[in-house]
Amino acid sequence: MTRIDATFARLKAEGRKAFVSYIMGGDPDFDTALAVMQGLPAAGVDVIELGVPFTDPMADGPTIQLAGQRALDGGQTLEKTLDMVRRFRQGDSVTPIVLMGYYNPIYNRGVERFLADAVQAGVDGLIVVDLPPEEDSELCLPAQAAGINFIRLATPTTDDHRLPTVLQNTSGFVYYVSITGITGAAAPQAADVAPEVARIKAATTLPVIVGFGISTPKAAQEIAAIADGCVVGSAIVKLIGEGKPVDQVLAYVAALAEGAHRG
């Protein structure tokens, strides 16, 4: 059982929904990003998604694209992102960490070396948005063998024919992308998302977490109410990009988490 599995089992036993937050590794700089990351659990975050900056983030909207560029301009690398995880683990051995990004930096490092380093650092899961199920032998299956969950995205265009393929080797949780398009592009409506979540849950025993476009405590509550939890990324990253102090960012995160937990 990974930290992700244990966290969702605990939340289910408590009758609570999950709140997952995303930040970009190294944005706006290493120390600030680490300070935000270290404060997330106390703000109510159940699972942390940590972005690995990449030069061609094709699934991300302008907010996260700019965050990745700020991080790269500041010298952030895959190694430094793993170092963020190591530093975080010095004070927190419980909160799950999912690295989210693209395959190129991992491929460049070498899958075997990357997975060994990720396990040593304390990574629990991976979301690699440009590796489809047809490429599971590249990273998904080796990651699972190493004890790291491989989390897959399902979208409004994942029909009943495609869904079993998407779910086949997924573990940890399923990330349902609530809208078509890029991150931060539009706000999802719970009434539209609910039937899709139900369809996915009928096909898997994994928790289903909904993300893309959530930016208020009310929206977090409404979306979490029809799923197993919700993810907020762009709205948090936007505050970081505006140069808001760490405590202000964490206060916003706490409000979102409270909304999700009420769901």
Map tokens 């539009």 to a residue: 186
Residues 223, 178: contact at Cβ < 8 Å?
yes
Q: CA 194, CA 262: separation in Å to the nearest integer?
A: 17
Residue 49 annotated as catalytic:
yes
Q: CA 74, CA 68: separation in Å to the nearest integer?
A: 10
- Burial of residue 205, with CB atoms counted within 10 A of its CB: 0-12 exposed, 13-18 middle, 19 or more buried: exposed
* The token pair that represents 103 in the structure block: 């395959």
Active-site entry in 60, 124, 222, 228 = 60
Residues 229, 17: contact at Cβ < 8 Å?
yes
Q: CA 47, CA 211: separation in Å to the nearest integer?
A: 13
One-letter amino acid of 66: L
One-letter amino acid of 183: T
Residues 65, 118: contact at Cβ < 8 Å?
no
Active-site entry in 49, 124, 136, 222 = 49
Q: Which residues pair with 19 in a beta bridge?
A: 230
Residue 130 annotated as catalytic:
no
Q: CA 94, CA 4: separation in Å to the nearest integer?
A: 9
Q: Report, as residue numbers or ranges, the catalytic residues.
A: 49, 60
